[in-house]
Chain A
Amino acid sequence: MLLLANIKKELLLLSRDRAGLLVLFVMPMLLVLVLSLVQDDIFRATGEAASRALFANLDRGTLGEALGDALEQSGDIELVRQIDEVPLNADSARRAVFNGDYQFAIVIPEQFSSNITAAAEATVQASIRNETNRLHGSQMVVYFDPIVRGVYRTSVMNALQRGVSGLEFAEKGKALGHLMPEAFQRRLDEEFAAYGEPSPELDLPEISDAWARQALIQLEEESAYPPTYTTVPTSVQQNVPAWTLFGMFFIVLPLAGTLIRERQEGTLLRLMTMQVGNLSLLLGKVLAHMFICLVQFGLMLAVGMFLLPLLGTPVLELGSAPFALLLVATSAALAACGYGIVVGVLARSYEQVSTFGAVSVVIAAALGGVMVPVYMMPRAMQNLSVVSPLGWGLNAFLDIFVRGGNLASVLPRVVALGSFFLLCMLFAVLAFRRWRRGG
């Protein structure tokens, strides 16, 4: 009965604090909305969709255009060949990158085709004669915006390297196609000349260059998870659970704040003179705030499923384990509320709560992969990330949303979150008892 009275009182207090409710529901919703949209673009840039690059083709031959076509066909780079309907040149491309309008510009020089053709022939010729080729091919410049991170540079350079290699093979194949028969004929002329006989005219077939273009090894990308579930990890799949957890853990502020306010107003002191147990008081707060966390969670899922797609993002897929999802959400909410109670019991002012509580949640979120996926972190930080309850929660959500996880696969993380909650409660009750005894 006392626990119910405490839960009811907490919910009543929360319902009267409209500004607080606004923060609790609107802030995480905005976080999910804005960050999913912002990071949707980053997800696309890091491989899900083509990177955009300026393409200034000054080549007088056909190879520059052939390279451009090959890059576009690869799907890795989307080429922009003109700005404001004016074809690009080296200066305008460089300026556009310098101004930050574009992140990359590829400039194909005027003699690109002729230089490559000459270099390919020279290379093949030198090989046939067993000599060293001293003729270098063409240079091609790629301008980068200096703020562009390594991962994007690598992605663009790899795509470019693949395009250039294909072109080189094709040109070398072409050179081989007509230089090889010439070499045969020359050798035949020399052999017959030794006997004073004219050599026969060989009708050797010209070797097609198609062989150079044909790939011998096909790389196939396949998820390591069972083929029964085929959800592709998108920005929404990563961001909605990540920022929802972040929002849920911000319950620390209002929850710890209620304890501080009760101390300041004297209500806690009054309660201490009554026959109410420490656990009942603290658990009442935890359960009321856990309810708020679960409402938050439901709201954020609705944002991911219905609102974000209206703004152009993929739909949030919830997986096929609703009970496991509810269990993860509940254990994450309990962990967040347990932490809030500990902060509330230990803090002596609202300033301490708002500073320590907020900063510690941001750190735990960063470590847990909310802001940057854990696999992208340096090794040392990846090792540290295992201590973050937000990381446990996020992994469990991703397990269900993306990897086709079920109750069995998320259970270890649910147990970890539950244990974290129990540990927090134990610590909070002990600290609270000490405070109640005037320690």
Chain B
Amino acid sequence: MMHATTTSALSIKGLVKVYPRSDRPALDGLTLDVARGSIFGLLGPNGAGKTTAISVLCTLLRPTEGSVTVLGHDVIRQAGAVRRSIGLVPQDIALYPSLTARENLRYFARILRVSRRNLEARVADCLEYVGLSDCADRRIGTYSGGMKRRANLAVGILHEPEILFLDEPTVGIDAQSRNLIMEQLRKLNRAGMTLVYTTHYMEEAHQLCDDIAIVDMGKVMARGEPSELVRDADDCENLKDLFLALTGKHLRD
């Protein structure tokens, strides 16, 4: 794993993103600093701006205003350096369904410039890591939801990125797969990888993250260590109560 000299994994200052033909900003002056080696949870209701923030951090979207650096690299001017050091596990199963898991991983490994010499071993390691070695030569289209999510994670870690962005990586899967993913994420973090994690599952975030930000309307509503945030809030027994207290109970579609 490569290590830059900066102590911050992410530094976001006054980030504004307004989509074309939209009357309100998706991100409205978002400011965050995430430490290296942490598991950072970005929580918020639908439309709060989580995916937009991840997209800006992964160089997929250009910010309207503000500055964003990843491991000290500016996401606009040094997009190449940012891309080299990050991994993304997107919300969608971003894999080719007609290819096998091994073929998918091989392809992405080559794109991620994993050396030809290490490629097969690295693919096998990642498949092993997510418990898919036995069915690595089955097409992704034939996988269950949990298996697809695990394969999705495997691609994200192929090149051992310094920061791994996970956009709701456990949506709609069985308890066993979720448990495996959570365990492996902790292992990755222990090995030094910074995780930036978005989820709707508050309990999951409470268990996994050592630092969270609850965002709504493109702004940070609360920030800190999950247990401390719950303890400091009035009438809140858990993170879910705090989340609802901050973002309201009205439906978000």
Q: Report yes or no: B107 in contact with A266, Cβ–Cβ below 8 A.
A: no
Given the contacts A265-B92, A266-B90, A13 and B99 also touching, CB distance less than 8 Å = yes
Q: Report the stretch among A268-276, A379-387, A421-429 that lies at the interface.
A: A268-276
Cα A437 to Cα B55 in complex, Å, equals: 11
Please name all residues of chain A whose beta carbon is closer than 8 Å to the beta carbon of B86 when the two chains form the complex.
273
In the complex, which residues 118-149 of chain B have their Cβ closer than 8 Å to any Cβ of chain A?
139
Residue of B nearest to A436 (CB): B60
Q: Report yes or no: A273 in contact with B60, Cβ–Cβ below 8 A.
A: yes
Give the residue of A9, A266, A274, A438 whose beta carbon is less than 8 angstroms from that of B61: A438
Residue of A nearest to B97 (CB): A265
Cα A265 to Cα B228 in complex, Å, equals: 39
Q: Report yes or no: B96 in contact with A271, Cβ–Cβ below 8 A.
A: no
B59 interfacial contact with A, CB 8 Å: yes
Cα A16 to Cα B108 in complex, Å, equals: 18
- Please report the total number of B residues contacting A with Cβ < 8 Å: 31
Cα A139 to Cα B109 in complex, Å, equals: 86
Q: Report yes or no: A270 in contact with B90, Cβ–Cβ below 8 A.
A: yes
Residue of A nearest to B86 (CB): A273
Please name all residues of chain B whose beta carbon is closer than 8 Å to the beta carbon of A21 when the two chains form the complex.
none
Interface core residue of A13, A270, A272 (most chain B CB under 10 Å)? A270
B62 interfacial contact with A, CB 8 Å: yes
Q: Report yes or no: B94 in contact with A13, Cβ–Cβ below 8 A.
A: no
B231 interfacial contact with A, CB 8 Å: no
Q: Report yes or no: B88 in contact with A270, Cβ–Cβ below 8 A.
A: yes
Q: Report yes or no: A9 in contact with B88, Cβ–Cβ below 8 A.
A: no
A17 interfacial contact with B, CB 8 Å: yes
A183 interfacial contact with B, CB 8 Å: no
Q: Report yes or no: A265 in contact with B111, Cβ–Cβ below 8 A.
A: no
In the complex, which residues 258-305 of chain A have their Cβ closer than 8 Å to any Cβ of chain B?
265-267, 269-276
B112 interfacial contact with A, CB 8 Å: yes
A194 interfacial contact with B, CB 8 Å: no
A12 interfacial contact with B, CB 8 Å: yes
Q: Report yes or no: A270 in contact with B59, Cβ–Cβ below 8 A.
A: no
B95 interfacial contact with A, CB 8 Å: yes
Please name all residues of chain B whose beta carbon is closer than 8 Å to the beta carbon of A16 when the two chains form the complex.
98-99, 139
B224 interfacial contact with A, CB 8 Å: no
Please name all residues of chain A whose beta carbon is closer than 8 Å to the beta carbon of B110 when the two chains form the complex.
1-2, 5
In the complex, which residues 73-101 of chain B have their Cβ closer than 8 Å to any Cβ of chain A?
80, 83-84, 86, 88, 90-99
CB distance from A333 to the nearest CB of B (A): 24
Given the contacts A5-B111, A9-B107, A438-B60, A275 and B83 also touching, CB distance less than 8 Å = yes
Interface residues of B (CB under 8 A from A): 55, 58-62, 80, 83-84, 86, 88, 90-99, 103, 107-108, 110-113, 116, 139, 155
- Can you list the 8 inter-chain pairs with the closest CB atoms, starting with the nearest? A266-B92, A266-B94, A5-B110, A16-B98, A270-B94, A438-B61, A273-B58, A273-B88
